[in-house]
């Protein structure tokens, strides 16, 4: 087991990364009060819920559960409210702990609920997908979607502790493992050329679910994100780099309807578009663009999106949070392993990069 | 005009207190971005909305408005969502400002919406009731009610600036002015015996709406609250003193249904119950209890509540947030002007204090 500490001043917390982790021993120091609400979904509950209920009850906790339907389309205010209902119906007070057992949607919703319930209670994350292990376990971003935009309503809420158990990835559908690898690749592309070389060496085994290599990839990804977040917790600057591929990706997700493509799939194609625009701007070489396409394809991720009318695509991009005072900023690559946030790009080249990475 | 600075480290902010304040000059330095959403209600909008829209437009801002129905019963998740709808339909991004123009309900909802929208945008408060001027303008508590409890869902969100304009109290119904005075009296009872003497001297003119005296009462109340909040922003200890009368008061409000009695009225009777229990415990004298009753009655506030079955009353008290690990804590008085948070009280005397301060 490896331990990574996310350094956020008085809200420093550990991420435990390994296989077959022991929740009873690892979680005990991080639970506040006697009441623990496990928030999970209908897919994860039959697989892992009992394991965690048993572990927490062995610690003498009063454990309640809130089982939500599975899917991004339930990441809304109505289903958030079901968590509040469960907390209050179980008589929870402000000295309680909310534990998220599931992927990114569950982490976002349970985390946001824990930030708001009684104006803030303890939060623990047990991410059960690769995507949530490398993404939402670091950074404290929580929230819900609104019909007019993704993650428009939320809070920064840091967990007390995160358990990232590779053994739980065994039950993850291959498509979701690949979606997680999209974010892993993102860390390499935006800030770590050496990590990209490592991924090029090991991608085939990663796709096959090698737990030791996956643990290493999770550790490196979280360490990378943790460094950036520690420098810029509230996303005033550097943290925006983590959105490489996301502005394009959000447009793809929004057009197709949330849940049609997985978030990681949309980000994958979004990164190709960002790399292509970076290449068209003369910042990265054609060879770097092909390396980008190839590592994404080897992770079994899409490198083109379905045909989307340009006006629709641009409209969804304008709804993205990276629009500052009406001016679109993008995360592009000055080099492989060196992303920048910039509004200094050619809008026509951007349109070409969107159109040329769609299915013909 | 007086200026009070609430000291909260990097989130220090001013409260401007006076009559006929100029929003254009006073607000300009505290607005982020070009987009301002004014959240108000159907009662306040016809009186003051145009004044603020005009002032902000003169500053070159794009001003949108969200007008909610008036009343505590609308302080719920459905009406909170109307604010998010308004923000997104107007195309607001993360560089925007939410301005609350109204009483405590509007301040709580707009503040909570500003804390959650895009994970946090700027917030400005223009409290238009005496209660919200002396209570919600300091402390950053925002939130909404849930059918199972008051203020169960919320956030700590500090405003950038607060304008407390006494001239706006002219349109306040006398019953609401009195409800505000309940909180003013609370500051005296919990921590400032000299302020109680001042209130005993000036109560008749305060009830009549004397703007100069009201400004002084608001300044002293906010200064008192600001000192406590600066010491204990997240309510780990001392801040709980501000809940003098509130645990009893919440039970009264909950039983009668939110909105039947005003919050300040319930707190007024709650303070009588707390004082009575403090007297029965031998901590304050019979004379101090009578001073408490008399100043509350002179503010035209109720000193007894309707008959409420004891079991119901206790049940609602147990839902209060002051229950820590199942143990009820109360704010009682060791002396006039010296409140304490304690679980060391006689439960039978508490029941007597509840029953003896009901209508016979």
pLDDT tens for each residue of A140-156: 999 999 999 889 999 99
Token pair in block for residue B83: 């604010």
Identify the closest residue of chain B to A233 by CA–CA distance.
Answer: B119
Q: Which residues of A touch B156 (CB under 8 A)?
A: 119-120
Q: Which pLDDT does position B327 carry in this prediction?
A: 76
CB atoms closer than 10 angstroms to residue A65: 17
- A-B contacts (CB, under 8 Å): 87
List helix spans (H) across chain A: 23-27, 50-58, 77-89, 104-116, 130-134, 174-191, 193-207, 211-231, 246-256, 263-280, 286-298, 310-318, 347-356
Question: In the numeric block, which tokens belong to residue B278?
Answer: 């403090």
- Residues of chain B found within 8 Å of residue A94, distances taken between Cβ atoms: 321, 324
Active site residue B239: yes
Q: B202 catalytic, yes or no?
A: no
User: Where does the pLDDT of residue A229 fall: very low under 50, low under 70, confident under 90, or very high at 90 and above?
Assistant: confident
Q: Are strands A96-102 and A35-41 parallel, antiparallel or unpaired?
A: parallel
Tell me the pLDDT band of A326, cut-offs 50, 70 and 90.
low
Q: How far apart are CA B130 and CA B262, in angstroms?
A: 13
Instruction: Please report which confidence band the pLDDT of residue A137 belongs to, taking 50, 70 and 90 as the band edges.
Output: confident
Instruction: Give the per-residue pLDDT at B9.
Output: 67
Give A81 to chain B, closest Cα distance, Å: 8
DSSP string, A141-185: EEEEEETTEEEEEEEE---SEEEEEGGGGGGS-HHHHHHHHHHHH
CA of B152: which chain A residue's CA is closest? A118
pLDDT at B132: 95
Helix crossing, B174-191 with B193-207: angle to 10°?
Answer: 170
B194 noted as active-site residue: no
What is the band of A320 on the pLDDT scale with cuts at 50, 70, 90?
Answer: low
The residue assigned the tokens 């447009």 is: A251
Question: pLDDT for A263-305, tens place per residue?
Answer: 899 999 999 999 999 999 999 999 999 999 999 999 999 999 9
Please give the residue that has the higher pLDDT: either A136 or B18. Answer: B18
Percent of chain A predicted with pLDDT > 70: 96
**Helix, strand, coil: what percent of chain B each, to 5?**
50, 20, 30
pLDDT value at position A207? 97
Mean pLDDT, residues A35-45: 98
Q: Could you say which of B250, B280, B291, B322 is catalytic?
A: B250
**Residues contacting residue B227 through CB under 8 Å, at least 6 positions apart:** none
Give residue A231's pLDDT: 83
C-alpha torsion B237→B240→B244→B249, nearest 10: -140
Quote the pLDDT of residue B11: 80
Subunit contact A154:B33, Cβ cutoff 8 A: no
pLDDT at B237: 74
Selecting from A77, A115, A117 the residue whose C-beta is nearest the C-beta of B81 gives A77
pLDDT score for A260: 81
State the DSSP string of B135-177.
TTTSS-EEEEEETTEEEEEEEE---SEEEEEGGGGGGS-HHHH
> Residue B236's pLDDT is what?
66
Question: Which pLDDT score is estimated for A234?
Answer: 67
> How close, in Å, is residue B108 to chain A by CA atoms?
12
Q: Cβ contact (<8 Å) for B155 and A115?
A: yes
The annotated binding site of A for NAD(+) is made up of 70-75, 104-108, 128-129, 141, 150
Residue carrying the six token digits 């407390």: B164
The answer to whether B178 and B299 have CB atoms below 8 angstroms apart is yes
Minimum-distance CB partner of A156 among B34, B93, B119? B119
Q: Using CB atoms, pick whichever of A88, A146, A154 lies closest to residue B149.
A: A88
Given an 8 Å threshold on Cβ–Cβ distance, is B152 in contact with A324?
no
Are the beta carbons of B325 and A34 separated by less than 8 Å? yes
Q: Which residues of A fall within a CB distance of 8 Å from B329?
A: none
- Residue A324 pLDDT exceeds 70: no
Separation between Cα atoms, residue B349 and residue B353, nearest integer Å: 6
Name which of B84, B95, B324 is nearest A152 (Cβ-Cβ).
B84
- Give the residues across from B332 on adjacent strands: B340
> Strand pairing partners for A122?
A97
Q: Which residues contact B140 (CB under 8 A, 6 or more apart)?
A: B8, B111, B156, B157, B158, B159, B229, B233
Choose among B81, B89, B141: nearest Cβ to A119: B141
Chain B: give the shortest CA distance to residue A326, in Å: 8
Say how far apart CA A203 and CA A210 lie, in whole Å: 10
Across the interface, do A119 and B154 touch by the CB < 8 Å criterion?
yes
Three state DSSP letters for B215-280 = HHHHHHHHHHHHHHHHHCCCCCCHHHHHHCCHHHHHHHHHHHCCCCCCHHHHHHHHHHHHHHHHHH
Query: What does the mean pLDDT of chain A come to?
Result: 93
Tell which residue, A205, A345, A353, has the closest CA to residue A276: A353
Min CA distance, A148 vs chain B (Å)?
Answer: 6
Beta-ladder partners of A323: A328
- Residue A325 pLDDT > 90: no
Q: How far from chain centre, in Å, is Cα B56?
A: 26
The predicted model gives A337-350 an average pLDDT of: 93
ipTM of the complex: 0.86
In chain A, what residues touch B84 (CB-CB under 8 Å)? 77, 146, 152-153
CATH homologous superfamily, domain B174-356: Dehydroquinate synthase-like - alpha domain (1.20.1090.10)
pLDDT tens track, chain B, 360 positions: 999 999 876 688 999 999 999 999 999 999 989 999 999 999 999 999 999 999 999 999 999 999 999 988 899 999 999 999 999 999 999 999 999 999 999 999 999 999 999 999 999 999 999 999 999 888 899 999 999 988 999 999 999 999 999 999 999 999 999 999 999 999 999 999 999 999 999 999 999 999 999 999 999 999 999 988 888 766 667 888 999 999 999 899 889 876 689 889 999 999 999 999 999 999 999 999 999 999 999 999 999 999 999 999 999 887 765 555 567 889 999 999 999 999 999 999 999 999 999 998
What is the third-level CATH fold of A2-171? Rossmann fold (3.40.50)
Q: Where are the domains of chain A?
A: 2-171, 174-356
Q: Give the pLDDT score at A72.
A: 86
pLDDT of residue A240: 87
d(CA A274, CA A279): 9
Q: What angle do CA A70, A80, B87 make, to 5 degrees?
A: 115
* Catalytic residue list contains B243: yes
Which candidate, B62, B157, B65, places its Cα nearest to that of B102? B65
CA distance, residue A183 to nearest chain B CA (Å): 22
Beta bridge partners of B165: B18
> Which residues of A does the annotation mark as catalytic?
119, 141, 183, 225, 235, 239, 243, 246, 250, 263
Q: Phi first, then psi: what are they for B130, rounded to 5°?
A: -65, -40
Of the residues B108, B115, B153, B234, the best mutation for testing chain A's interface (the one with the most A CB atoms within 10 Å of its CB) is: B153
Q: What is the pLDDT of residue B323?
A: 56
B chain contacts of residue A154, beta-carbon cutoff 8 Å: 116, 118-119
């Amino acid at each position: 087991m490896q331990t990574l500490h996310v350094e956020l001043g008085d809200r420093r917390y550990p991420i435990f990364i390994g296989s077959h982790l022991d929740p009873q021993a690892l979680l005990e120091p991080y639970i506040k009060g006697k009441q623990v609400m496990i928030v999970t979904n209908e897919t994860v509950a039959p697989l892992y819920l009992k394991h965690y209920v048993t572990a927490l009850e062995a610690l003498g906790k009063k454990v309640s559960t809130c089982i939500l339907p599975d899917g991004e389309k339930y990441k809304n205010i109505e289903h958030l409210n079901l968590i509040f209902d469960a907390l209050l119906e179980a008589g929870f007070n402000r000295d309680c702990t909310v534990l998220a057992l599931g992927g990114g949607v569950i982490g976002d919703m349970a985390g946001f609920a824990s930030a708001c319930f009684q104006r803030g209670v303890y939060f623990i994350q047990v991410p059960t997908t690769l995507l949530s292990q490398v993404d939402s376990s670091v950074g404290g971003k929580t929230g819900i979607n609104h019909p007019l935009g993704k993650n428009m309503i939320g809070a920064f809420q840091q967990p007390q502790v995160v358990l990232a158990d590779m053994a739980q990835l065994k039950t993850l559908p291959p498509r979701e493992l690949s979606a997680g690898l999209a974010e892993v690749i993102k860390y390499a592309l935006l800030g770590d050329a050496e990590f990209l070389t490592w991924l090029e060496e090991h991608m085939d085994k990663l796709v096959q679910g090698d737990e030791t290599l996956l643990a290493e990839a999770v550790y490196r990804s979280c360490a990378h994100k943790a460094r950036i977040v520690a420098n810029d917790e509230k996303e005033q600057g550097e943290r925006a780099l983590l959105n490489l591929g996301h502005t394009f990706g959000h447009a793809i997700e929004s057009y197709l309807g949330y849940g049609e493509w997985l978030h990681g799939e949309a980000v994958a194609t979004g990164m190709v578009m960002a790399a292509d625009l970076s290449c068209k701007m003369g910042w990265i070489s054609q060879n770097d663009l092909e390396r980008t396409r190839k590592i994404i394809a080897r992770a079994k991720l899409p490198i083109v999106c379905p045909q989307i009318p340009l006006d629709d695509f641009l409209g969804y991009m304008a709804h993205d949070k990276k629009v500052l005072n009406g001016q679109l900023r993008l995360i592009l690559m000055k080099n492989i392993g060196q992303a920048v946030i910039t509004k200094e790009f050619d809008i026509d080249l951007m349109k070409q990069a969107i159109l040329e990475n769609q299915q013909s």
